[in-house]
Amino acid sequence: MRHVLRRWLCMTVCAVAVLVVAAAPAAWADDLNRDLLKKGMSLNDVIRTFGQPTQIEWVNVSGTAVLFVFYPTDKSDAVFRKDGLMLLPLGFVTEALAGWGKDFYEQNRSAQAPPGPSAR
């Protein structure tokens, strides 16, 4: 039962995230004002404040879904895409901003749960 509820919650959060991202305006070209970032902000508040993210990614950390949204930046706490674009990752757990920046992203990526057994 708990597994079903967790899966339902993940699917619901994903669906809401897709709807919010699709309805938001494009991300601004300027760097984000990090003074406006506060832990606990909702995904809706972040998108209303900063616009549509450039990229999104889900990470599974020991059974907890962490949603990362990425915004263009020129600061040192960015992650780099293959095309050279620098992005600021913002991580959400159950639709609340849990942290941001390269260190927070890499810490959660390294803690990602390994994939389940493969079918043979």
> In the chain, what are the domain boundaries?
2-110
**pTM given for the model:** 0.70
SS3 57: strand
Chain centre distance of CA 86: 15
Would you write out the chain's pLDDT as a tens digit for each of its 120 residues? 655 555 655 555 555 555 444 444 444 345 788 899 999 999 999 999 999 999 999 999 888 899 999 999 988 889 998 888 999 999 999 889 999 999 999 999 887 756 545 444
Residue in the block written with tokens 């050279």: 84
